[in-house]
Structure 1
Amino acid sequence: MNIQLLAIDMDGTTLNRKNTLSPATRNALQRAADAGILVVPATGRQFSGLPPELEAVHGIRYYLCSNGAVVFDRQEEKILHCDLMQPSQALRALAEISRWESAVTDVYIAGKAYTTIDRYQAPLRFGVDALHIKTFLASRIPVKSLPDLIRQKQLQPEKIFSIFLNTTEHKTCWDVLCAQPDLAVTNSIPNAIEVTNVTATKGGGLQALAAHLHIPQDAVMAVGDGLNDLTMLDWAGISVAMGNADINVKRHARYETASCDEDGLAKAVERFLF
């Protein structure tokens, strides 16, 4: 069956390691969109943190954000699907993460990302690499306390995102959170922990969007590189892992393409769509 929907991860897939969109990838995505294929960014980022480079690709309407916790229709300016954490879930996860000295955390709520004042004022010190500082500062709202933000207004987060500067602490916290049956725990980079409601995944979000659009599973293609892409790669009719992908991602995907620095997404688009 012809592919009708192309779901693409952002960092390490659509964007290269320099955090830019190459001309070849931009042109391939535009060709797909011009051919009537729905190009759908499927990202761990919150909506306000989407890369501005995507504006160069005309015709993108639907977005999977926060690892599938939210599916957004930009044309209609409405949420098509959401699967949020309850305040009690988020506070429990934050309490565990806060036990670890090396952890620095953001919380995604209603399409925006909140971080602590300390991290916002010294991003390099708190785990933000130099390439992402500009994006980080432009897309974060600093607050004194993340738990207080949630508790006082009983907010329902889309996702909790933590970077650990100590690998032992990361592994221990990962294991504790994974043991909680109402949480989904994954990551897009090795030293991160990303927590959502247990049913909020890229695969779940992609399935919800496809159902909304009446697109069959075998007409969906997904491309990704991180552990948070596993569920959408498992669900899509055609799944492609980037050459720079985690080994477990490559094992889940049916196909493999070149790395993000070698226009792997563009090559996959040309191979399977044209």
Structure 2
Amino acid sequence: MVGLDLDGTLLNSKKELTPFTKEVIAKAINKGVHVLVATGRPFTGVPLELREFPGMRYALTANGARILDTATGEILIEHLLSKESAKKALEITEKYDTLQEIYFDGQGYAKDEKLAHVERYHKDCNMWEYVRASRIAVPDIWELFYSREENLDKVQALFADMEERKAAWEELSECKDLNLVSSLKYNIEINAAGVNKGKGLIALGKMLGIEREEIMAIGDGDNDIEMITEAGVGVAMGNAEEAVKCNADYVTGTNDEDGAARAIVKYVLGGGEAC
């Protein structure tokens, strides 16, 4: 099994899936390998061509809070953020200049006024279109929050000011029922305590009868560290943060060099060194 992060890993800087990468994924699937996205995004935020990629049966989303069978829509593994915990996270992050997002049942929601100025909070212009297209704009986050009875996939806050982000991180860290990660240098992703991509990937492997040693994980951000250390083979992208590289078994090329696909060639397709 191969678990693939999306942003900074499988997708290039323009948020594209290259023809070479698609070809390599297809070859791995045809070889009998389970290839899946392992992302902090909700399922609705996964590019359609990956949601419908032939033979890509499973998806790990919201940092492992939801793992689903994409063919049937069945939720296989679910570890959600309680309403009580989510409320604390929202109360803390709303003190700052943030774009707050809440995720229910694989869908992200954000306040319409903040979403209209996404460029203030997302520093990467290649993310603007994706965010606007994948989030549902609502006039009031709290009204939506209280109107839903179910627990949440996760909460996310994107910060206009990095000093404010640092202060919010410190405050959120005191809440032991929360797990904090950051796939971007300017965001905080908030899941239930104990949720991470590594646990999710290993749990899915057990369900499918796949040993830890038969699992490869590829990523670039700090929300990928657990799955890179948990997997039998952990691969860091060439553009990964240093902490990710330090925990990896192998460092491949960057996401603009088809690094993830080249790691699959090396370890799965038997292509030797992929440069």
TM-score range, shorter chain: over 0.9
Tell me the residue number matched to 1:18: 14
1:58 is paired with a residue of what secondary structure?
A: coil
> Which letter does structure 2 place at the counterpart of 1:31?
K
1:260 is paired with a residue of what secondary structure?
A: coil
1:189 is paired with a residue of what secondary structure?
A: coil
User: Are the equivalent residues in 2 in contact too, given 1:161–1:194 (CA < 8 A)?
Assistant: yes
**Which of 244, 248, 252 pairs up with 1:253?**
248
1:124 is paired with a residue of what secondary structure?
A: helix
Alignment RMSD, CA only? 1.4
Cα drift, residue 180 of structure 1: 1.4
Tell me the residue number matched to 2:138: 143
User: Are the equivalent residues in 2 in contact too, given 1:183–1:195 (CA < 8 A)?
Assistant: yes
Q: How many percent of aligned residue pairs carry the same amino acid? A: 35
* TM-score where L is the length of structure 1: 0.94
User: Are the equivalent residues in 2 in contact too, given 1:116–1:146 (CA < 8 A)?
Assistant: yes
2:119 is paired with a residue of what secondary structure?
A: coil
- CA distance in 2: counterparts of 1:257 and 1:223, whole angstroms: 9
- CA distance in 1: counterparts of 2:195 and 2:101, whole angstroms: 17
User: Are the equivalent residues in 1 in contact too, given 2:178–2:191 (CA < 8 A)?
Assistant: yes
Q: C-alpha offsets along residues 97-141 of structure 1, whole Å, 9 cap, x if unaligned?
A: 0111x2111111101010001123333244374323332222111
> Which letter does structure 2 place at the counterpart of 1:46?
P
For the pair 1:72 / 2:71, whether they are aligned, the reply is no
Tell me the residue number matched to 2:175: 180
Closer, same or farther in 2 for the Cα pair 1:147/1:43, shift >3 Å?
Answer: same
**Runs (5+) with no aligned partner, structure 2:** 271-275
User: Are the equivalent residues in 2 in contact too, given 1:244–1:259 (CA < 8 A)?
Assistant: yes
Q: Matches of residues 31-42 of structure 1 in structure 2 within 5 Å? A: 31-42=27-38
> Which letter does structure 2 place at the counterpart of 1:51?
P
Cα drift, residue 56 of structure 1: 7.2
Instruction: Indicate the larger mover: 136-145 or 156-165.
Output: 136-145
**Runs (5+) with no aligned partner, structure 1:** none
User: Are the equivalent residues in 1 in contact too, given 2:120–2:160 (CA < 8 A)?
Assistant: no
2:113 is paired with a residue of what secondary structure?
A: helix
Cα drift, residue 146 of structure 1: 1.9
Cα drift, residue 203 of structure 1: 1.1
- CA distance in 1: counterparts of 2:168 and 2:120, whole angstroms: 21
**Which of 54, 59, 70 pairs up with 1:58?**
54
User: Are the equivalent residues in 2 in contact too, given 1:104–1:164 (CA < 8 A)?
Assistant: yes
2:256 is paired with a residue of what secondary structure?
A: helix
Closer, same or farther in 2 for the Cα pair 1:147/1:155, shift >3 Å?
Answer: farther
Tell me the residue number matched to 2:260: 265
> Which letter does structure 2 place at the counterpart of 1:70?
R
Cα drift, residue 24 of structure 1: 1.6
- CA distance in 2: counterparts of 1:43 and 1:55, whole angstroms: 12
User: Are the equivalent residues in 1 in contact too, given 2:13–2:126 (CA < 8 A)?
Assistant: no
Q: Matches of residues 233-248 of structure 1 in structure 2 within 5 Å? A: 233-248=228-243
> Which letter does structure 2 place at the counterpart of 1:111?
G
Q: C-alpha offsets along residues 144-173 of structure 1, whole Å, 9 cap, x if unaligned?
A: 222332223333111111111111111111
User: Are the equivalent residues in 2 in contact too, given 1:63–1:73 (CA < 8 A)?
Assistant: yes
For the pair 1:222 / 2:191, whether they are aligned, the reply is no
- CA distance in 2: counterparts of 1:21 and 1:127, whole angstroms: 21
Q: C-alpha offsets along residues 161-209 of structure 1, whole Å, 9 cap, x if unaligned?
A: 1111111111111111122111100011111100000122111211221
- CA distance in 2: counterparts of 1:267 and 1:33, whole angstroms: 15
Cα drift, residue 55 of structure 1: 5.4
1:262 is paired with a residue of what secondary structure?
A: coil
- CA distance in 2: counterparts of 1:77 and 1:53, whole angstroms: 16
* TM-score where L is the length of structure 2: 0.94
